[in-house]
């Protein structure tokens, strides 16, 4: 095994750990020897059989819509509700 600097191992180790498809497709010792080879490889070539493929456009639109709705619900639940202090009356409505 070649000698790598700590910085090289730490940086590429984080990249490797963050990519589960890469972890299943390539052993770490092969990846660390030439990480750019695997970073530029087509994802389909690196994915094992049965691995998920990219979403189709309509699936992606539906996933984005669901994510936005989840984010809006989270914001609504976590945002503090504004209630004016008791000594301040609510603004009068103008008709």
Q: Is the overall model pTM greater than 0.75, yes or no? A: no
Range of the structural domain that residue 45 is part of: 6-77
Residue 38 is assigned to a structural domain of this protein? yes
11 token code pair: 């940086």
Q: Which residue has the higher pLDDT, 90 or 64?
A: 64
| Cα distance between the two ends of the chain | 81
Residue 84: inside a domain, yes or no?
no
60 within domain boundaries? yes
Residue 40 within any structural domain of the chain: yes
Do 4 and 31 contact (CB within 8 A), yes or no?
Answer: no
The CA angle 27-33-34, to the nearest 5 degrees, is 100
Q: What count of other Cβ atoms lies within 10 Å of the Cβ of residue 22?
A: 20
Q: What percentage of the chain has pLDDT greater than the value 70?
A: 66
- At residue 28 the predicted structure's pLDDT band, cuts being 50, 70 and 90, is very high
Average pLDDT, the chain: 77
Look at residue 67 and tell me if it is in a domain. yes
Please give the pLDDT value at position 36. 85
The predicted model gives 10-17 an average pLDDT of 89
Task: Say if 85 falls within a structural domain.
Answer: no
Domain count across the chain: 1
Q: At residue 31, what are phi and psi to the nearest 5 degrees?
A: -65, -45
- The reply to whether 65 falls in a domain is yes
Contact (Cβ atoms closer than 8 angstroms) between residue 53 and residue 27: no
Confirm whether 41 is domain-assigned: yes
Mean pLDDT across the stretch 72-93? 68
């Amino acid at each position: 095994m070649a000698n790598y600097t700590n910085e090289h191992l730490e940086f590429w180790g984080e990249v490797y750990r963050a990519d589960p498809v890469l972890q299943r497709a390539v052993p770490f010792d092969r990846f660390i020897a030439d990480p750019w080879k695997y970073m530029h490889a087509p994802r389909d070539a690196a994915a094992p059989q049965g691995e998920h493929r990219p979403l189709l456009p309509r699936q992606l639109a539906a996933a984005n819509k669901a994510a936005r709705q989840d984010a809006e619900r989270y914001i609504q639940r976590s945002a503090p509700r504004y209630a004016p202090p008791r000594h301040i009356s609510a603004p009068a409505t103008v008709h």
